[in-house]
Structure 1
Amino acid sequence: MAVLALALAFPAGVAAQSFVEHVSPPVVERGKTTRVTFVGKNLANAFDIWNSLPSGTLRAKPVEAGSERAVFEITAADNAPVGMGGMRVATPDGLSNLHLFLVDDLPVHWGGMNEKEATLAKPAAVWGVLREGASDRYQIEAKAGERVGFEVVANRFGKDADPLVTIRDASGRFIAERDNDAGLYFDCRFEHTFEKAGTYVVEVRDARFKGNEHRHYVLRVGRFAVGRAAVPSAVNPGKNEIALGAAGAPRISLDHSPLALPGPFLASLKRSGDDGSAWVPMTNSEGPVTVANESGEPTPATFPGALCGVLRQPGARHVFDLKFEKGQKLFLCGEAKSLNSPVDLEVALLDKSGKEVRRGSEARGTDEVTLEFVAGAAGEYQLAVRDALREGGDDAVYRLLARNDPFPPQLLAEAEGLAVPRGDHQILPITVTRSPGAKGAIRLRLLGAPRGISLSPSSIPEDEASIVCRLEASPDAPLGLHTLQIMAEPGDLGGQWRSLVRTQPLVDRKLVNIDLIPLALREDQRRLPPSVTDRFALQVTPPSPFQFELPEARLTLVRYQRVPVPIVTTRLKEFDGPITFSAEGGQLAPKEEGRTRVYAEFPPAGQQTPKVSGFIQSLILSNLAKARIKVSAVGTHQGRRVALTRCFDLDLVAGFKVEGEPAKVSALPGETVRARLVVNRVGPLDTPVTIRFNANSGLDLPETLMIGKGQSGVDFQVPVPADTNPRKIGIQGVSTGYVNGYEEEVRGLLLEIDVRKPEAPKKTEAPKNAETKNKK
Structure 2
Amino acid sequence: MRTFSHILGLLCFAAPAVVNAMVHHIEAVTPRAGQRGTTVEVVIDGAYLKDPREVLFFRPGIKCLEVKALPPLERKVSLHHGGYREDQVLCRFEIAPDCPLGLHPLKLRTATELTTLSTFAVTAYPVYHEQEQKQGANDAASAAEAIALGTSVHGRIDSVRLSDVDLYRISGKAGQHLSVEVDSVWLTERHYAESEFDLMVRLLDANGKELARNDDSALHLQDPIASMVLPKDGEYLVEIKQRVFKDGPRCYYLAHIGDHPRPLVAYPAGGKAGTSVQTALLGDPEGEVKQSVSLPAMAGDFSLYNKMPSPLPMRVSAYDNVLEDRAAEETHVKALPAALNGIIEAAGDSDAFTVSAKKGERWHVKVFARSLGTPLDPRISIQRVGAENAEVNADDATLEDRGLYAMSRAIQRKEMMDPAIVWEPKEDGEYAISITDMRGLGDPTSVYRIEVDAVLDEIDTFLQARVIDMVECPRLTGITVPQGGQWTVNVNLADGPGNTYKGELDLVAHGLPKGVRMIAPRMRAGQRQTPVQFVAEAGVKPQCALITLECKAVDGRPLVSRSQQSFPFLGHSGGRAWHSFVVDHYALAVMEPPPFAIEVAQPQIPLSQNGELTLAVKVVRQPGFKEDVEYQFDWVPNGVEGEPTITLPADKSEGTLRLSASTAAAPGTYQLAITASTVGGEYYLGTGRTRTSTKFFDLTIAQPYIALKSNPTAVRRGEKAQVVWDIEHKKPFEGEAEAVLLGLPKGVSVVNAPKFKPGDKQLIFEIAATNDALLGQYKELSCEITVSERGQQIRQRMGKGILRVDPAIAQTSSTSR
Return the TM-score normalized by structure 2: 0.65
1:650-680 per-residue CA deviation (whole Å, 9 max, x = no partner) reads: xxxxxxxxxx999xxxxxxxxxxxxxxxxxx
Find the counterpart in structure 2 of residue 634 from structure 1: 678
Amino acid in the other structure paired with 1:86? P
1:168-213 per-residue CA deviation (whole Å, 9 max, x = no partner) reads: 3222233332211124231122312333332222122233333655
Residue 151 of structure 2 is aligned to residue 130 of structure 1: no
Q: How many residues align?
A: 611
Amino acid in the other structure paired with 2:43? T
Matches within 5 A, 1:423-438: 423-434=484-495, 435-438=497-500
Find the counterpart in structure 2 of residue 735 from structure 1: none
C-alpha displacement of 1:124: 0.9
Residues 109, 125 of structure 1: 8 Å contact kept:
yes
Matches within 5 A, 1:34-113: 34-54=40-60, 56-62=61-67, 64-67=69-72, 68-113=87-132
C-alpha displacement of 1:24: 1.4
Residues 705, 714 of structure 1: 8 Å contact kept:
no
Question: 182, 205, 211: which is aligned to 1:152?
Answer: 182
Matches within 5 A, 1:190-589: 190-210=226-246, 212=248, 214-241=250-277, 242-246=279-283, 249-258=288-297, 260=298, 263-264=300-301, 267-270=303-306, 274=307, 276-295=308-327, 297-301=329-333, 302-325=335-358, 327-353=360-386, 355-361=388-394, 362-365=396-399, 366-375=416-425, 377-406=427-456, 408-414=458-464, 417-434=478-495, 435-441=497-503, 442-457=505-520, 460-495=523-558, 497-507=559-569, 511=573, 519-525=574-580, 528=581, 532-548=582-598, 568-581=617-630
C-alpha displacement of 1:36: 1.3
Structure 2: stretches of 5+ with no match in the other structure? 1-13, 73-86, 400-415, 465-475, 636-641, 661-671, 681-687, 698-708, 712-739, 747-774, 783-799, 805-817
Residues 459, 499 of structure 2: 8 Å contact kept:
no
1:421-468 per-residue CA deviation (whole Å, 9 max, x = no partner) reads: 123333332323323452234443333332233333275443112222
Identify if the C-alpha distance between structure 1 residues 379 and 643 changes in structure 2 by more than 3 Å, giving closer, same or farther: same
1:382-419 per-residue CA deviation (whole Å, 9 max, x = no partner) reads: 21111211222354333333233356234321266432
Residues 272, 319 of structure 2: 8 Å contact kept:
yes
Residues 44, 88 of structure 2: 8 Å contact kept:
yes
Residues 31, 76 of structure 1: 8 Å contact kept:
yes
C-alpha displacement of 1:118: 0.6
Task: Write the distance in 2 (CA, Å) between the matches of 1:633 and 1:400.
Answer: 49
1:494-553 per-residue CA deviation (whole Å, 9 max, x = no partner) reads: 42x423121112435994xxxxxxx4432313xx2xxx4211122212233323367899
- What SS does the aligned partner of 2:391 have? strand
Task: Write the distance in 1 (CA, Å) between the matches of 2:607 and 2:375.
Answer: 47
1:34-80 per-residue CA deviation (whole Å, 9 max, x = no partner) reads: 111212222223232211212x5444422553442212121111121
Find the counterpart in structure 2 of residue 750 from structure 1: none
Identify if the C-alpha distance between structure 1 residues 461 and 339 changes in structure 2 by more than 3 Å, giving closer, same or farther: farther
Identify if the C-alpha distance between structure 1 residues 475 and 343 changes in structure 2 by more than 3 Å, giving closer, same or farther: farther
C-alpha displacement of 1:579: 3.9
- What SS does the aligned partner of 2:371 have? helix
C-alpha displacement of 1:19: 1.4
Residues 44, 66 of structure 1: 8 Å contact kept:
no
Task: Write the distance in 2 (CA, Å) between the matches of 1:230 and 1:687.
Answer: 75
Find the counterpart in structure 1 of residue 26 from structure 2: 20
- What SS does the aligned partner of 2:93 have? strand
Residues 46, 70 of structure 1: 8 Å contact kept:
yes
- What SS does the aligned partner of 1:603 have? strand
Find the counterpart in structure 2 of residue 610 from structure 1: 654
Amino acid in the other structure paired with 1:502? Q
Residues 337, 452 of structure 2: 8 Å contact kept:
yes
Task: Write the distance in 2 (CA, Å) between the matches of 1:510 and 1:611.
Answer: 43
Task: Write the distance in 1 (CA, Å) between the matches of 2:49 and 2:435.
Answer: 51
Find the counterpart in structure 2 of residue 697 from structure 1: none
Question: 173, 185, 189: which is aligned to 2:225?
Answer: 189
C-alpha displacement of 1:629: 13
Task: Write the distance in 2 (CA, Å) between the matches of 1:325 and 1:137.
Answer: 61
Residues 422, 541 of structure 1: 8 Å contact kept:
yes
Root mean square deviation of aligned Cα: 4.3
Find the counterpart in structure 1 of residue 743 from structure 2: 686
Identify if the C-alpha distance between structure 1 residues 471 and 332 changes in structure 2 by more than 3 Å, giving closer, same or farther: farther
C-alpha displacement of 1:123: 0.9
Find the counterpart in structure 1 of residue 728 from structure 2: none
Task: Write the distance in 1 (CA, Å) between the matches of 2:579 and 2:246.
Answer: 17
Structure 1: stretches of 5+ with no match in the other structure? 1-6, 512-518, 587-597, 617-627, 649-659, 663-682, 690-703, 717-776
Residues 275, 296 of structure 2: 8 Å contact kept:
no
C-alpha displacement of 1:102: 1.6
Return the TM-score normalized by structure 1: 0.69
Residues 424, 474 of structure 1: 8 Å contact kept:
yes
C-alpha displacement of 1:472: 3.1
- What SS does the aligned partner of 1:360 have? strand
Find the counterpart in structure 2 of residue 722 from structure 1: none
Task: Write the distance in 1 (CA, Å) between the matches of 2:109 and 2:23.
Answer: 9
Q: Percent identity?
A: 19
Identify if the C-alpha distance between structure 1 residues 134 and 498 changes in structure 2 by more than 3 Å, giving closer, same or farther: same
- What SS does the aligned partner of 2:289 have? coil
Residues 177, 260 of structure 2: 8 Å contact kept:
no
C-alpha displacement of 1:336: 3.3
Residues 130, 215 of structure 1: 8 Å contact kept:
yes
Task: Write the distance in 1 (CA, Å) between the matches of 2:257 and 2:595.
Answer: 53
Task: Write the distance in 2 (CA, Å) between the matches of 1:630 and 1:192.
Answer: 61
Find the counterpart in structure 1 of residue 692 from structure 2: 644
1:575-632 per-residue CA deviation (whole Å, 9 max, x = no partner) reads: 532143378999xxxxxxxxxxx9966433436333256999xxxxxxxxxxx99965
Identify if the C-alpha distance between structure 1 residues 403 and 459 changes in structure 2 by more than 3 Å, giving closer, same or farther: farther
